[in-house]
Chain A
Amino acid sequence: MHQSFLRFADALYMKVAILLALASIVAYWAYDPLEPHNGGTWLGYTLGTVGAALIVWLTLYGLRKRSYRSRLGTVQGWLSAHVYLGVSLLIIATLHTGFQFGFNIHTLAYALMIAVIASGVWGVVMYVKYPKMVTNNRDNLTRKSIFREISELDRKASLLVEALGSPVDRMMITSIQLFRVGGGVWAQLSGRDSSQMMVPVMSGKKQVWKKVSNTGQRRMLNILAGQVARSRDPRITAVLQELSDVVSTKASLMQKLLKDVRMQGLMEFWLYIHIPLTFALLATLMAHIVSVFYYW
C-alpha cells in the first residue's frame, strides 16, 4: 500500500520537528538574557548552531536522493524528515534572530531561508495534490497515447474534409497544423491553449487568409456549425457533423494534454526556485557565520 511521505513511520519526523520547535519556543520564553534577545546570547548561539546544522543536513537530502546505493535510511524517510525539520527551521531560525532585522547579509540569509522553505512547502503541496489530479486527468492514458489519439483524429478529419472541398478543407488543415501545446515556461505553466487556424477574409475585393486564435478548437467548431446550418445536402451535413464530432473530441483531448503539461510543470517548477535559492542560502549562511566571528 502506498503511504505518503508525510505519514512516514507514523509521522515520526513531524513529532520530532514539533518537539524541536516547542523546545526552542519554551527556551526562548524562559530565557531572559541581560541584553535584548539576539543571536549572540548563549541561547542565540545554540539556536544558531542547531539551525545551521539543520540547513546543511537538509541540503544533503539532494545528495542522498541521488545515491541509489546508499542504505542510510530510505529516501522516503529522508524526504519526510527533510520536509518536517525544514519547516521547524522556520521557528528555530526566527528565534535565533531575536527578531532583529536589518539591511545586512544576516537578514539576507534569513530571507533566503524563508524563501527556500516557502518554495519547499509549495513543492509539498504540489506533491500531495497533483499526482492524483494528474492520474484522474489522464484517464488511463499516457501522454504519448493522447498525442497518438489526437493524431488519429487529425487523420480522420483530414480524410473527411477531402470530401467537402475548400474552404473548410483549408481551414481544417491549418487548424491541424497550427495546433499548439507547451512551449516556454509560461505557456507550460499557464496551460493556455494558443492554437491557431487560418480563415479567409475579404480585404477589399480580394480574399486573403488570416491567422486567428483557435483556442479550444472553438473557432473551428463554430465554422463547422455554420456550415451545417447552411448545408442543403444531407450527405454533406452528415460529413460535417462527423467532422464536428472529431474536432470536439480533439478539443477535449487537447484540454487534457494542456492540463497534463501544466500540472507536470507545476510539480517541477518549484524545484527551479528551491534548489538555486538553497545554494544562495548556503553561500550567505557561510558569510553570516564567518563575518560574525571575523568581527567578534
Chain B
Amino acid sequence: MTFLIRKIVSVEGAPNRHQDFEVASSRLTVGRGTDQDLLLPGDRVSLRHAEISLLGQLVEITATTSLGIVVNGRTCKSAMLSVGDQVLIGDYHLVIIERPDNEVDCAISVQQLQVQEYEGLNPDSYVTSLKNIFWLRKRAYAWILFVLLSLVCLILPVWLAQNPDIKEHSPVALPDDSLWLSGPLHRQHGFIGDNCAACHVKPFEPVQNNVCTECHEDTTHHVAADHPANILFQKETCASCHREHNEQERMVMDDQRFCVSCHGVLATALGSKAKVSNVSDFTSKHPDFRLNMLNPVLNDGDWHWQNSGRQKRTPELKEHNNLRFDHQQHLDTEGLKNETGAYEVLQCSSCHTRAADGFGMVPLTMETSCSRCHSLAFDVDNPAREVPHGPPVEVLNSLREYFSAQFIAEKMAKNESRRRPGQAEVSRLQQEGLEWVEQHTQEVAEDMFERRACITCHEVEHSPTAQTDAQRWKIRPNRLNDRWMLSSRFPHYKHRSESCGSCHAAQESTQTEDILMPRIEHCQDCHGGKDTEDKVLSMCITCHEYHQPDMSVMASDPQ
C-alpha cells in the first residue's frame, strides 16, 4: 500500500507550501521515534504514537500510546476516518485528503501548529524529587551520626575512664565505659560492679595475674617451679583459662581437651622420669587408681607415720595400721551383743560418720565408735568403773589409785585403824598396802593388756622384766589412713544414694590389712568420659583440681 504524505510548511506572510512524499507500507507508523514511517519530532509525541491502516475505502487510526489521539476534537483510542477528518497528534494537525490518483491508497496532510504559549504547569514549581527536599540530606546526616556516635561510644568513655573524678562529680549520667561491657561478670565477681579499672589496670594491656592474686592469694600452681613442664605454663595467665564477660557464665574451664592436650601425652613426653600415665578420657583411657599408703616406720626407737605416695594396686599391697579389726565379724547379720547385752545388727553408720564438709569421713576414735560396746571395765563388782583409753602408764596409775582406795576401805571396815597405831604398826600397814595394791594392779593389767581388752584391737608388746611401767607394756602406735587418693577428694555426699557396700567390700573383709578402696572399673560402671551417652558425664575436673594443693602459691610469683 502506498501512503502519500503532504507536509504543509507555513511561512509567515507567504502562502503555504507543501512537500509530498510517498511511503509504501501495509501500515503507516506515526511517532517521534527514528524508525517511524511518519516522523513527528517534539516531546508531546510518543516514540510510537499511532498507526494508520486501510480497511477497504476507510482509513483506521489506532493510538499505540496511552496518551491517545484527538480525532475531530475528541480524545479516543482509535477511529475510522474518511476524507476531511482531522487528527491531532501533539502539536501536529493531520487531515485525510483526496487521493490525487489511484496509485496512492491514502493521502494525509501534516501541518505543525503554531505552539501557543500557555501559562500552564511549570514542572519546576513542584517538588517531585527527594533531592529537592531541603531538610533531607544524606551526607549531613551521615556526618552528624558519625560524630555523635564517635563521641558517645568512644571519645567520652575513654575520656571518662582517664578522668574518673569528672564522672564521679557529674550531676548527670555520662556515656562511660559501661557501654563497652561485652558480657556479664561472673556472679562471684559481681561486687566489682562497673569498675572496669579494678582488673583492666592499664589501657591496651591484657589483665595481669597480680590483680587476680590480690584476692585469690591462696591459689596454687599446677606444677612445681622446678618441674620440667613448668615452661609450658610460663606464658599463660589466669585469664588464659578463666575467661570473663562470656554469656554463658562460667569461670572454670571444664572442657577436658584443655587437660588432655598435655596429659594425653605427658608420660610419653617425660619418658622414664614420668610419675604419671597418659590420660585422655575416663571411659577407657584412664589408669587405675594408685593409692597413698600410711606406713609406720621405726626411727630411733620411735614410730613415725609416712605417706608412701601413689602406689600401684597389687595383691601384695596391704594396709599397716597396727590395729586388729574384722569388718565381716562386725557386720554379722545375726548381730553382736551391745552394751545392754542385746543382739544388735551393726550398720556401717553405727561406727562411721560423714564429715561435715561432705567429702571425707570423721576420723574413728575409741570414744565415738567402739566404747559403746567395748567396755574397759575391770571390776565385776563395779562395772561402771573403767580404765582410761590411753597410754599404759595412765592405765596402771588408774588401777593403783582404785586399789589403794579399796585397801583403805577394807581396813577401815575391819576397824584396824581405830586405835592409835604405833610407828611400827604404820610401817607394817604401809608395806602390806603397797604389796596388796601392786599385786592387784599387775593382775588386772595383765588380764586387760594381754587377754581381754587392749589386745582385742591393739598390738601389745609385753616386757615382763622391764623395771618401769612405761616399758612393761607397749601399745604399737596406730593410725588410720584418711588420704587414700592424693589427686582427688572423693565427695561422699554426692554418692548418698549408693550404699557403702556398693563401693567398699567390707562384708568380705576379715583382715585389718585389707584395702577397701574401690578400683576404677567400679567407678566406670556409672561414670563415663566425654563421649558417654548412658553414664554420668565425668570430665577431668569432675574429680581433679587444676590448682594443686601442695604447690607454691601464685601470689608469691615474681612479677
**Interface residues in chain A, defined as those with a beta carbon under 8 Å from any beta carbon in chain B:** 34-36, 38-40, 98-100, 102, 104-106, 108, 139-145, 147-152, 154-155, 179, 181-185, 188, 242, 245-246, 249, 252-253, 256-257, 261, 264-265, 268-269, 271-272, 275-280, 282-284, 286-288, 290-296
B172 close to A (CB within 8 Å): no
Task: Check A295–B177 contact: CB distance below 8 A.
Answer: yes
Task: Check B127–A34 contact: CB distance below 8 A.
Answer: no
Task: Check A104–B179 contact: CB distance below 8 A.
Answer: yes
Query: Whole-angstrom distance between the alpha carbons of A10 and B152 in the complex?
Result: 44
Task: Check B142–A245 contact: CB distance below 8 A.
Answer: no
- Chain B hits for A280, CB < 8 A: 142, 145-146, 149
Q: Mark B394-411, 1 if CB is under 8 A from A, else 0.
A: 000000000000000000
- Chain B hits for A181, CB < 8 A: 126, 128
* Chain B facing A: main interface SS: loop
- Chain B hits for A264, CB < 8 A: 128-129
Known: A188-B130, A269-B130. A294 touches B48 (CB 8 A): no
- Chain A hits for B141, CB < 8 A: 272, 275-276
Query: Whole-angstrom distance between the alpha carbons of A139 and B182 in the complex?
Result: 56
Known: A283-B145, A284-B153. A293 touches B258 (CB 8 A): no
- Chain A hits for B47, CB < 8 A: 140
Query: Whole-angstrom distance between the alpha carbons of A253 and B68 in the complex?
Result: 11
- Chain B hits for A278, CB < 8 A: 142
Name A291's contact: one of B120, B128, B136, B157 (CB within 8 Å). Answer: B157
Query: Whole-angstrom distance between the alpha carbons of A279 and B116 in the complex?
Result: 52
Known: A36-B247, A151-B121, A272-B141. A108 touches B182 (CB 8 A): no
B233 close to A (CB within 8 Å): no
Query: Whole-angstrom distance between the alpha carbons of A275 and B177 in the complex?
Result: 27
Q: Which residue, of A269, A277, A284, has the highest number of chain B Cβ atoms within 10 A? A: A284
Known: A102-B181, A150-B121, A279-B146. A185 touches B136 (CB 8 A): yes
* Chain A facing B: main interface SS: helix
- Chain A hits for B171, CB < 8 A: none
Known: A104-B180, A145-B43, A286-B150. A182 touches B145 (CB 8 A): no
Task: Check A34–B258 contact: CB distance below 8 A.
Answer: yes
Name A104's contact: one of B121, B161, B182 (CB within 8 Å). Answer: B182
Task: Check A296–B204 contact: CB distance below 8 A.
Answer: yes
B95-148: which residues lie under 8 A (CB-CB) from chain A?
116, 118, 120-123, 126-131, 133, 136, 138-139, 141-148
Query: Whole-angstrom distance between the alpha carbons of A277 and B129 in the complex?
Result: 21
Q: Which residue, of A144, A148, A257, A295, has the highest number of chain B Cβ atoms within 10 A? A: A295
B559 close to A (CB within 8 Å): no
Task: Check A287–B154 contact: CB distance below 8 A.
Answer: yes
Task: Check A38–B145 contact: CB distance below 8 A.
Answer: no
- Chain A hits for B177, CB < 8 A: 291, 295
Task: Check B46–A182 contact: CB distance below 8 A.
Answer: no
Task: Check A40–B158 contact: CB distance below 8 A.
Answer: no
Name B154's contact: one of A249, A276, A290 (CB within 8 Å). Answer: A290
